[in-house]
């Protein structure tokens, strides 16, 4: 996979440029800022049911930034999280080790590359367990009612249209528990229609700097 050297974003955190899609892994207006806004604040912190263990699925694990932020949240909140990340083509591990997320978040530098060190479930702390699912999203078929939250963080619908289909969202709809959430940075019309057709109730929320809006989708239920 063709990934160039790290690129600095406006909040001081780095991202990578993916040459094949012509896109950055994160917003150049602020990588950490974007991930916290869309996935942590609007997703993880928006879960309302008092769960003992939160099961999270990420589609597009990429650099591991969302997983890292979730691990930090779990430790601070003393909440158990089981995290699964689907990624068929991870960035080069040497490139991951150059990213400054652990330094900014005051976490261990080796964590990003450790996400890709094993396909078995790894326990990173008392509150965070992680599994890398090394297969394309099209070939991934999760068990029903397994997750409370999905982070959908694939490259854009323009560059990876096969990731943003009604069929794909239908799988995720059934993988979520009633009341479960899916958050994604895209607010494109085709994405909204595909989510609705899959059964989700969607809402547009104010975006982070550099982005007007993003989507949060909910499975009807409690």
Largest CA distance in the chain: 45
Q: Which of 36, 33, 35, 31 is nearest to 17 (CA)?
A: 31
pTM over 0.85: yes
Q: Indicate the domain borders of the chain.
A: 31-218
Per-residue pLDDT tens digits of the chain, which is 222 residues long: 566 779 999 999 999 999 888 899 999 999 999 999 999 999 999 997 767 799 999 999 999 999 999 999 999 999 999 999 999 999 988 889 999 999 999 999 899 999 999 999 999 999 999 999 999 999 999 999 999 999 999 999 999 999 999 999 999 999 999 999 999 999 999 999 999 999 999 999 999 999 999 999 999 986
Q: Which of 188, 200, 198 is nearest to 155 (CA)?
A: 188
Q: Indicate the CATH number of 31-218 among 3.20.20.150, 3.40.50.150, 3.40.1190.20, 3.30.70.100.
A: 3.40.50.150
């Amino acid at each position: 996979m063709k990934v160039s050297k790290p690129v600095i974003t406006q909040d001081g955190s780095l991202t990578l440029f993916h040459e094949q899609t012509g896109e950055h892994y994160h917003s150049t207006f602020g990588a950490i800022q974007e991930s916290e806004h869309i996935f942590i604040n609007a997703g993880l912190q928006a879960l309302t049911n008092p769960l003992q263990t939160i099961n999270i699925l990420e589609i597009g694990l990429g650099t591991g930034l969302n997983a890292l932020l979730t691990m930090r949240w779990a430790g601070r909140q003393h909440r158990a999280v089981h995290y699964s990340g689907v990624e068929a083509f991870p960035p080069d591990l040497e490139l991951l080790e150059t990213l400054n997320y652990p330094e900014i978040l005051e976490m261990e530098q080796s964590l990003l590359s450790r996400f890709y060190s094993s396909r078995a479930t790894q326990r990173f702390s008392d509150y965070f367990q992680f599994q890398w699912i090394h297969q394309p999203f099209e070939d991934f078929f999760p068990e029903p009612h397994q997750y409370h939250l999905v982070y959908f963080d694939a490259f854009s619908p323009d560059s990876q249209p096969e990731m943003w289909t009604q069929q794909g969202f239908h799988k995720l709809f059934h993988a979520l528990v009633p009341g479960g959430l899916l958050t994604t940075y895209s607010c494109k019309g085709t994405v909204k229609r595909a989510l609705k057709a899959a059964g989700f109730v969607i809402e547009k929320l104010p975006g982070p700097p550099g982005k007007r809006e993003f989507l949060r989708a909910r499975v009807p239920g409690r």
